Structure 1
Amino acid sequence: MSLIITDECINCDVCEPECPNDAISMGDEIYEIEPTLCTECVGHFDEPQCVEVCPVDCIPKDDNNVENEGQLMLKYEALMAAK
């Protein structure tokens, strides 16, 4: 599943540059993750980089965008092919 940034976000700006898929951008009030671009860093890293750097632990899995490891890998491959 993709990740989501909760309203506990403090807009510290550390997550956006860490995303290898450019899935994170500033929303109206807090950063947001585009679920069609989020692979939880599958294909790039062992752990989601945004989660690793977030100082307030506000980036959980998004229950509305459930994907397994295989689906995330297919999404990663499609994103890399499109570049």
Structure 2
Amino acid sequence: MNLRIVLDGVDRISTTPPIPPIPPIPPISRIPPISRIPPISPISRIPPISPISLISPIPAIPPIPAIAPIPPIPPIPRIPIYLYTSYHRA
């Protein structure tokens, strides 16, 4: 569906797709009444859960790897610092 739109004296042809029609709302008579909805299965139909199946075997905890001892920090070599003082004789 092409629409010719004139804006500011310039013809512009828009090729927007047509809007699909809105489907009609079904009448209330077609909606199934509540009595026709199938009943929810009673709890008795749910198979019982055995307590043994709930308990899963606990996986063995992997051993913690031993942390390597930190090597001692080597002593910092002492740089001799000479204090030069000037003695003034009175």
Q: Give the structure with higher Rg (CA).
A: 2
The two structures have a TM-score, normalised by structure 1, of: 0.14
Higher relative contact order (CA 8 A, sep 6+): 1
Q: Which has the higher helix share?
A: 1
